[in-house]
Structure 1
Amino acid sequence: MRFTRPLAVAAAAALAMTAVGCASLSRPTDSGEASESTDWPTGPITMIVAFDAGGGSDIGARLLATALEDELGVPIVVENRPGAGGQVGYTALANAAPDGSTFGLTTIPGLIVSALDESRGAEYDVDSFAQSALQVIDPMAIAVTPDSDIQSIEDLVAASEAGELTATTTGIGTAEHIALLQFNEAAGTDIRPVHFADGAAPATTAFLGGNVDILLSNVGDIMPTLENGGARAVGVLAEERSIFVPDAGTSYEAGIEVMIGSSRGYVFPDGTPQDVVDRMSDAIGAVLEDEAFQEQMANAGLQPAYMDAAEYEAYWHEQADSIGSVLELIREEG
């Protein structure tokens, strides 16, 4: 499976480019009838973002929305629907009319955790969405204090065997928590989570104050702390190194097959005609292929990781299986 592709979206986009606007593909509707061909888009499209304006997810979505207006020739109206860790927005997206007038940003693992964990009371499940395209995978970074003896993931494993280590998360069932559970299982370590339900800011403050040994965070979110000298990245949980912390080795280089980060992609409500889903997939691929747009993303700390509709659907379900396997561990700490 492909994970991060540093600024190399052209080949993947080319593979995704079946005939733009092709109407020969269709997604079965609930009644079992094939959808008719469409002249989509014919009017404004709403993009639901399940988070507050100004965050990393919102910034990337708004960059894409602006570029898609030129690519599709219609307005893209960004509508922020924050609340309940994304569930408010995801519920609105799942319940929107499947006519191509509404699509939205989704993040993994957040959406999948909420869909699989019955205690969250989500009104949607993993199959409530039609996957269109992936834009970003922001890999999880492992950081330590600048004066730490830990220089690599291998050193981290050795240090954990020598004594108890703790790591920050932004709450039970979050990306950081799942990353730590998967890392412990794959590496045979027992690094203990310290949860900060109020988000990354208090987690970072506790780390900087020496109260937690390891800072876990997506690369894009941790960059300010790295740049101001408050932390040093010793690894990323990915197959390929991050363009933003190229000196930090990967989990795969250390022989630990764990890949996780915040993956951000776009979906429609289930039942949306497949030709609409594919048309948007192609449009996103074309935008991500543009060097000027790649530069905009890089300036925002975002690394492109394009997948077309078929690839993204397969990735979505692979992630659901992977997250489902650690859900019981998450519940035990809940």
Structure 2
Amino acid sequence: MKKLISALAVGALALTATGCVDSSSTAASSGEDFPKNGKSVELVVAFSPGGPVDTAARLIQPVLEEELGTNVEVVNKPGAGGQIGYTALANAKPDGYTIGAVGSPSIVVIPLDESRGAAFSREDLQPLARQVVDPMVIAVQPDSPYASLKDLLEASSANPDTINATTTGQMGGEHFAIAQINETTGSALSPVHFSEGASQASTAFLGKHVDVLVGNISEVVDLANQGKARVLGVMNTERTEMLPEVPTFTEEGYDIVSTTARGYAAPAGLPEAVAAKLEAALQSAIENEEVITKMDNLGLTTSFQDAQSYGEFWQKQEADYQAVLPLVQAK
């Protein structure tokens, strides 16, 4: 009888212990204890060190560490225009310990373009927060005969493919911007691709080897302030504080918006508690006054969006880029 009672007691203890483990596992799976045991968070940057995506990520890193109470390690995984890093992010475990810095159009276009054979789709990524919108601008030489955006586009329409414009590579943001301009206005600017990036494109423009410079405001504002380029239009719905005297394309009668948006995402399927903690931490880091000031000094105006709004913005960009993708693929 004593043996039976002992056996029942052991069994009861085992069931109690099992119940405790199950409860603990439930808490862990819900992410309520995230981050735990000092485990680091990896912040994947799909581009080389020193670029705008990398710079923005490193600016928020220390604040993010304070907010999360753990180390945040920025890891660069460049290659294939961001595809290598994005693939690693999309295929990581959705537990909050791997997040990524992302930028459009690359994060939007790569899954849309079948020729790239992407191993991930839009549904494999979960937006967390937007940090900045960097509008595209179009600029000419200071002594250019084109005094306005209208002058340039009308000249391009009248003389197809005789006025060339810079891009930072096939299917890059500038390439899409030129395609949108040509499609919307009837002009025929001819893209010239500089695969090494914005510095190579700017050098060619400054050497007067290219007629028109197309680039993000953060890349062109210094040239404008130094009198080395004259910006004719901003491809956004509002004027930029960096060059307040320059009109938008909308003001000039052209319904064109082309911006590079940079933000943060995670593998899809985060536990709600983890997603909430990451979103809150990112908002605090992005809206930190010191971070904003440093971003402003780089010509990058902070434009925070929470996860839901950023996701909606992302969907809108998908529709916009899907519409012009055939034009970019064809030329």
2:155 to 153, 159, 162: 159
Could you say which residue in structure 2 is the equivalent of 1:329? Answer: 327
Could you say which residue in structure 1 is the equivalent of 2:299? Answer: 301
Alignment of 1:55-204 (within 5 A): 55-163=51-159, 164-204=162-202
Greater mean deviation of Cα atoms: 57-66 or 159-168:
159-168
Runs of 4+ in 1 over 6 A off after TM superposition: none
Could you say which residue in structure 1 is the equivalent of 2:4? Answer: none
- The answer (yes or no) to whether the contact 1:135–1:306 under 8 Å persists in 2 is yes
Greater mean deviation of Cα atoms: 215-224 or 169-178:
215-224
More helix by share: 2
Instruction: Supply the AA of the counterpart residue of 2:218.
Output: G
In the alignment, structure 1 segments of 5+ residues that lack a partner are 1-34
Greater mean deviation of Cα atoms: 162-171 or 108-117:
162-171
| Partner SS, residue 133 of structure 2 | strand
Could you say which residue in structure 2 is the equivalent of 1:10? Answer: none
In structure 1, C-alpha distance between the alignment counterparts of 2:277 and 2:252, rounded to whole Å: 40
Deviation at 1:136, TM superposition (A): 0.8
In structure 1, C-alpha distance between the alignment counterparts of 2:64 and 2:199, rounded to whole Å: 32
Cα deviations by residue, 1:202-243 (Å, 9 ceiling, x for unpaired): 322222222221100111122333343321211110011112
Cα deviations by residue, 1:170-206 (Å, 9 ceiling, x for unpaired): 1111000001111222222221211222322332222
Structure ranking higher on relative contact order (CA contacts 8 Å, 6+ apart) = 1
Instruction: Supply the AA of the counterpart residue of 1:56.
Output: P
Q: Percent identity?
A: 42
2:32 to 38, 43, 46: 38
Count how many residue pairs are aligned between Structure 1 and Structure 2. Answer: 299
In structure 1, C-alpha distance between the alignment counterparts of 2:140 and 2:294, rounded to whole Å: 29
Deviation at 1:51, TM superposition (A): 0.8
Instruction: Supply the AA of the counterpart residue of 1:244.
Output: M
Deviation at 1:275, TM superposition (A): 3.2
Say whether 1:266 aligns with 2:254. Answer: no
In structure 1, C-alpha distance between the alignment counterparts of 2:282 and 2:244, rounded to whole Å: 27
Deviation at 1:110, TM superposition (A): 0.9
Pairwise CA RMSD: 1.7
In the alignment, structure 2 segments of 5+ residues that lack a partner are 1-28
Instruction: Supply the AA of the counterpart residue of 1:210.
Output: K
In structure 1, C-alpha distance between the alignment counterparts of 2:79 and 2:230, rounded to whole Å: 32
| Partner SS, residue 301 of structure 1 | coil
- The answer (yes or no) to whether the contact 1:153–1:249 under 8 Å persists in 2 is no
1:314 to 300, 312, 315: 312
In structure 2, C-alpha distance between the alignment counterparts of 1:40 and 1:209, rounded to whole Å: 53
In structure 2, C-alpha distance between the alignment counterparts of 1:268 and 1:37, rounded to whole Å: 14
| Partner SS, residue 292 of structure 1 | helix
In structure 1, C-alpha distance between the alignment counterparts of 2:181 and 2:276, rounded to whole Å: 35
**With structure 2 as the length reference, what TM-score do the two structures score?**
0.85
Deviation at 1:37, TM superposition (A): 5.0
